Structure 1
């Protein structure tokens, strides 16, 4: 390689690709394990069931590559907490109890081998409440574990604000579609992207209440939108998706680097 040639891209470390001997060494050399978590749920007429898992795994790959061997990618959690999408064909869900058990048992296994810092990156907002509960429980059951978790899109509100989003936006809308156009465009049926609910006036009174935040009210997505989409995915661009992804990656990397030095 000459000085004029660019350096080859760094490859993320994956526990799945290691031998048991390499894994034992990684406990010391790669003290952070990152677990991508997603969902198996409808994403409207234009995007796949695995949208949230694809986004989480892609972001985790980028984060681990940036950390240059200081973190290792653990097994993904490809099915999440999605009962609010069950009215739409293809959706598969875990109960909150089962999802929590899966996360805890992943953590227990990794703890047994010596890892003490574990980060879950979730592409699905429906997993958030359970991850918060697991984090609280681990303070008692595994006090030597440092367990962190983060959503994706919520890490980049400034990048989302730069998009031309609808008054009502979110699931399968502008921001998620943009990320998929950047990360996995071959999985997006651009000819099938159609708007869902885009304005508060389109929602019934109960759905409007559910969008206010607090007090919190949970309703099924079939009540919020006839096609399961919040927003207008036709407005999404790959460039906007890259901005969201790059922002999320940089903020997760910055967190982990500070965490490693803490």
Structure 2
């Protein structure tokens, strides 16, 4: 018994899980780009939700896919050639495990999980995927996955990108403290821009703000290269780097806008491969 075929994917579909089996076959034929948001479930200080990294990654992923469709200029094939995969809401978070709320799955499980998803998609006929991670702790594991895929699926295009680190210009405009980062000015601004109701503004408390306040090992860990690491409870009691009280939704919109612009430009190149 032969299977039916279709010539179009319903134009309102953005998520991979909303495709039918027939639409999936067409999406593969059109060399569709898949976007996988990943994050973490971990402490984000006293004022941000545990899912901050997932929320930011999912927001950016959907915005990128929407922008790619908007830029198709009436080309229905291009417009229906990018989809958001179900996100992974757990990540590599051993450095946060001593602070409340963190669920760490560790690098091996994270690598196995993402690799399994990507290899099944590759074996099914997809050939390009972008991972957007809201959690910097996932980057090393994503690098391992990328190298491993070169050995097993060398023709599959596997790309990955962080969120905050792409916004170099907008981040440079923030009034940041000497020590800044996790749950600080940038992340809090982004969350205010995405959904202010998810931020407990009355409990946005500063954490580590000055290098001189850190013990020697914690201070050394702030050197980017050579690199060492500590658990975040060594930085501050609340696990915060910086002063989130200075965050604003307007700054968050600028940061997210720069991130999305850069990823859209990159994805347009991926779609031309």
TM category, shorter: over 0.9
Give structure 2 stretches of 5+ with no counterpart: 1-10, 70-79
Task: Measure, in 1, the Cα distance between the counterparts of 2:45 and 2:19.
Answer: 37
Task: Measure, in 2, the Cα distance between the counterparts of 1:184 and 1:121.
Answer: 19
Aligned match of 1:7? none
Aligned match of 1:148? 159
Task: Measure, in 2, the Cα distance between the counterparts of 1:233 and 1:201.
Answer: 19
Aligned match of 1:212? 223
Aligned match of 2:8? none
The two structures have a TM-score, normalised by structure 2, of 0.90
Quote how far apart the aligned CAs of 1:30 are. Answer: 5.6
Task: Measure, in 1, the Cα distance between the counterparts of 2:177 and 2:195.
Answer: 23
Quote how far apart the aligned CAs of 1:11 are. Answer: 5.9
The two structures have a TM-score, normalised by structure 1, of 0.94
Quote how far apart the aligned CAs of 1:75 are. Answer: 1.8
1:113-152 map, 5 Å: 113-152=124-163
Whether 1:64 and 2:65 are equivalent positions in the alignment is yes
CA distance change for structure 1 residues 65 and 72 in 2, over 3 Å: closer, same or farther?
Answer: same
Aligned with 2:181: secondary structure?
A: coil
Task: Measure, in 2, the Cα distance between the counterparts of 1:129 and 1:159.
Answer: 25
* Contact 2:90 2:104 (8 Å CA) reproduced: yes
Aligned match of 2:172? 161
1:37-116 map, 5 Å: 37-68=38-69, 69-116=80-127
Quote how far apart the aligned CAs of 1:29 are. Answer: 3.4
Q: 227-236 or 110-119: which moved more? A: 110-119
CA distance change for structure 1 residues 11 and 186 in 2, over 3 Å: closer, same or farther?
Answer: farther
Whether 1:254 and 2:255 are equivalent positions in the alignment is no
Task: Measure, in 2, the Cα distance between the counterparts of 1:165 and 1:24.
Answer: 48
Alignment: residue pair count: 253
Q: 43-52 or 28-37: which moved more? A: 28-37
1:7-18 map, 5 Å: 13-18=14-19
Aligned match of 2:29? 28
Give structure 1 stretches of 5+ with no counterpart: 1-9
Task: Measure, in 1, the Cα distance between the counterparts of 2:81 and 2:250.
Answer: 29
* Contact 1:12 1:62 (8 Å CA) reproduced: no
Aligned match of 1:3? none
Quote how far apart the aligned CAs of 1:18 are. Answer: 1.6
Q: 103-112 or 11-20: which moved more? A: 11-20
Quote how far apart the aligned CAs of 1:196 are. Answer: 0.5
